[in-house]
Structure 1
């Protein structure tokens, strides 16, 4: 076990849990990024989120810990991060400052019936399912980033389909994630990632079978997959369902649909939502 001191008590994260988290989130980092501890912190943040939402409830005695102590555990557990082990606090401070200006953009691709959504799976066997997206480049417009990332991860060009004002936006911890909604895509479309060893699978999933929160066991009973396999999609599912309901005519009028904004209840901790409904 790894031990980390906090202000209130000493916490211990089981090595088996750290092994699993490193396998899911850290070890697949491209070699050119491994030497950049700040870039690695983005993956550590995802691992921390996963740990809090899934590992703790499935591992008796697993302690609650903040990102600082969690990062220390990972830095001392993962071999290629060991050289940075004594500078974790400094690295985290630099990372938090850096990530404030690096939002992520992508797309929620819906079929013609608005009943299925396209998800991608990372290259590693343990990778979960999420929406195609990626970090914005310097001086790149948000919608251009979404177009580029979706093309890279799925081979599908949304350039002529994207509406700049139709998106679901979440702020997860300190990082903005915006996904543009792309409805009406044929299920017969052929998808093929442009990047190597980044995307393993691309599949359509029935929206009704996907989880809206971490304890939603619908995918377990309907798909044979635990909800944690969709943890990156979970924050967007409830607002997406709201958007589809509105689009299908459950709003009072077309004008309401075009002008309404809603803030759904939080599906996970530390998440703030912003929706724009534009047709």
Structure 2
């Protein structure tokens, strides 16, 4: 990718260099303020008990949602999942005394903490049905459409595509993709997931009405992958996520598995391929 050049910082004729100095000082001050705010927040969380953290997360992620969101237990559960990521990725490193919890156990804890304020949740906590709510949510998630992008290089005689590997050592390699958000188009979901997982913004490379995609349905879940060719392999990729993507790499199409021929990633890359052969 070419270097993006900004406007010149040379003083305009008749102006004073003091403006540049003031801007620099303001920027430094803003950065200092932001760091101070983060430090204050980190200090506050470092002294909270688990129950106090649950009450804070309940307020941040659930209680103050719009009324239409609070009328759907599925939408509430998506917020619980977001809160769980925030808890494990940000709060526990700040406060190591907080217990690590899987999504099921954490969901029960946070929903219990939110039940006093959200009438819909009370219906499930009073009947002891939180486990059933979690199981239904996990089944619901598997039916949410998934969108992503197959990024291709510029060399057709050595055609390659970009794959990402999950965070755990046992995670598989797959195309950048993820579940579509409410009211989000398939195309926008694909662009967002590519940006989040690889740091690459292909918004200008993928037309809003693009018909260049592959699509299939597996176990009631629709998967759509858009094709974006012509990307230089020297392009720098860096995930914007935390503890979700561990590696990003180019793979030759000839090295990928197909329905007729199964293959594994090269030694040293770890993991296996996931949902590759249906699209190759």
TM-score (norm 1): 0.50
Which structure: greater strand fraction?
Answer: 1
TM-score (norm 2): 0.49
